[in-house]
Amino acid sequence: MKRVILALTALLSFAAVVRAEEDVIVRGQFPQILARGETVVQMANRMAAVLINLDRFIAPPCGMRRVFEFAGADYYDESDLTKRIEPSRRGVWRIAVVGKGCWAARAHNVFLYPRVGAPAGLRLGVPGRTVAGPRLQAEAIGLVLREANGIAMRGNCEDPAFLVDSVVTKVRLPGKPWTEVWSASACEITRKFAVMFTPEGAKTRIGVALTD
């Protein structure tokens, strides 16, 4: 049985349980406003379930307790994660979570979509500091993993690649191209890919190139 225990760190602290092979702690001051149609405990539990598989790839079980720590929540324009907007407008919450325990700390992102009369929808984002919106992320993920898996297969690696991190290397400005570096790992080898986003009217062209 996998346990998710929400540590008593503040007013909005809680405890919960999820199935797994190891102890997992979820802690921090998750805003109550985000937990509509469910308790904060239930929302955090669902968030842990969304995060756990990717986190295990990035930081394989090592006998330590795994920790997911709330690191902030902001409401953004869904197409541009540099634009914070008011929750009264149509957008998306990005919940930042830091994974700790078992290897180095890692930055996770979960997109939360409020729904009327029901718990919010949750979607796992690319780990790290990408500023691409959820739809662009989804498109770029396919391109990066296709390249990463192709390189891995040519090296006789049969394990599927997974994303580890992302950083912005050329600042995103309105209507201008920007570049990020996404890291993907397979068979214990991590490779970095330049992900180039070029706005073209209502669409954005995405290019991917190995950088190392």
Alpha-carbon distance of 32 to 35, in angstroms, equals 5
Listed by start position, the domains of the chain span 3-124, 134-210
SS3 labels along 134-195: HHHHHHHHHHHHHHHHHHHHHCCCCCCCEEEEEEEEECCCCCCCEEEEEEEEECCEEEEEEE
Three-state DSSP class for residue 118: strand
Binned at pLDDT 50, 70 and 90, residue 22 comes out as confident
Three-state DSSP class for residue 110: strand
Asked if residue 45 has pLDDT above 60, the reply is yes
Binned at pLDDT 50, 70 and 90, residue 21 comes out as low
Which residues, in sequence order, are CB contacts of 199 under 8 Å at separation 6+? 175, 176, 177
Tens-place pLDDT, residues 167-206: 999 999 999 999 999 999 999 999 999 999 999 988 999 9
Mean per-residue pLDDT of the chain: 89
Of 18-22, 24-28, 51-55, the poorest mean pLDDT is in 18-22
Q: What is this structure's pTM? A: 0.88
Q: Please state the rounded mean pLDDT for residues 142-153.
A: 97
Alpha-carbon distance of 94 to 110, in angstroms, equals 6
